[in-house]
Amino acid sequence: MSDTPKPPRKPRAARTPKTGTETSTKPRKPRAKRATTRIPKNNPPQKQFHLLRSSVIMVLVCLCALLAWGYWGLLKTIDVPTAGYKLQIDKGQHYADVIEQLNSDGVLPSTVWAKLYLRFHTTKPLQTGTYLFKPPLNTMQLLAQLSNGEGLVMTKITVVEGISFKQLRQQLARHPQVKQTLSHKTDSEVLALLGIEERHPEGLFAPDTYIFPPDETDIKILSRLYQQQQKILKQAWANRAANLPYQSPYDALIMASIVEKETANAAERPQIAGVFVRRLQQGMRLQTDPTVIYGMGDSYNGNIRKTDLLTYTPYNTYRINGLPPTPIALPSKAAIEAALNPAAGTEVYFVAKGDGTGRHTFSTTLNEHNRAVQAYLQARKGP
């Protein structure tokens, strides 16, 4: 191994201190970007969302204001006179027509809210007639009253039990609130207009108090009375006693009219019906004065003479067997029920007591009846 000397090392370059103006000649590696991404300002989708939300809020505010305005318009007190406001509704009119009329009369300041209210609320068909609306009142209340028929001005007519059909027609003709359509019609024509098959109108119409709107027609009132009487007769016939001497409900109606005319004492109706039923069952003539009077017609002057009892008419039950051909009056419900459910017993005679009570004395034998007749005559003479 030789002692060869090593080559000398190259001297290191002296480091030059860095100054603010000098840059490193060696390029630096770029820093790695962070994983999170910053949301840039003024992002278009977010801006659109804010605009949409603002628009929706604005629409809702406007809608609420509109609804509040409309609700206030419906609840605001309308201009109804102190004495009330009368409104006539004719057949065929609709709510729109009525609202226009209310606006024309100055009751409703605007028709808009009333029409919108009706559009979204269920209403009943309008009832014709005259309405009277009294203050205080708002639009909503007025429309509700119209729908329910409240405020409808009604009138009434009382048909007294025991009157004749002729008297009923006269009563309708005199009533100031009944519209006359039958003034020149005969009884037969009236029955035809009502679709009634019976040839005689007597007894077919129920006596009662009937409430109706002003200007109701006479034919409509008669129709209601007829339907009511048919309903009463049908129900009573279905509940009739057994073994009655009637061939049809019409026979029962005839008997009921006789019972109606024989007594004003309601408690005695079943007893009197029982007497007449037993007389028919035993083949006896009814011999009842009201049938004689009805057969006399306009010639009756308030008194029955012996010659009247002997004079034949189709209604004179002193001269005919069985029932007369038609009813002799308008019988009440109580009289119809009595005729179809007469009181049991053996009596076949009766006569008024003559003491002013309207009651009768009932007898089984002719001798008993004759004594009761003498007592009646004595009571009429007085002490």
The domain locations on the chain are 115-153, 155-234, 242-381
**375 dihedral zone (left: phi>0; alpha: psi -120 to 50; beta):** alpha
What confidence score (pLDDT) does residue 162 get? 96
Cβ atoms of 369 and 360 closer than 8 Å: no
DSSP assignments along 296-350, one per residue: HGGG--S---HHHHHS--TT-TTTSSSS-SS-SS---HHHHHHHHSPPPSS--EE
Q: How many CB atoms lie within 10 A of CB 101?
A: 15
Cβ atoms of 165 and 201 closer than 8 Å: yes
3-class DSSP string for 358-381: CCEEEECCHHHHHHHHHHHHHHHH
Structure tokens at 1: 């191994």
Angle between helices 218-238 and 187-194 (to 10 degrees): 70
- 339: nearest Cα among 288, 261, 269: 269
DSSP assignments along 10-51, one per residue: PPPPPPPPP-TT---SSPPPPPPPPSS-PPPSS-HHHHHHHH
Those residues with Cβ within 8 angstroms of residue 34's Cβ, 6 or more apart along the chain or in another chain: none
Q: Are strands 129-133 and 85-89 parallel, antiparallel or unpaired?
A: antiparallel
| Weakly modelled stretches of the chain, pLDDT under 50 | 1-2, 20-24, 69-72
d(CA 374, CA 218): 47
Q: What share of the chain is helix, strand, coil (3-state, %, to 5)?
A: 45, 10, 45
Q: How many CB atoms lie within 10 A of CB 76?
A: 12
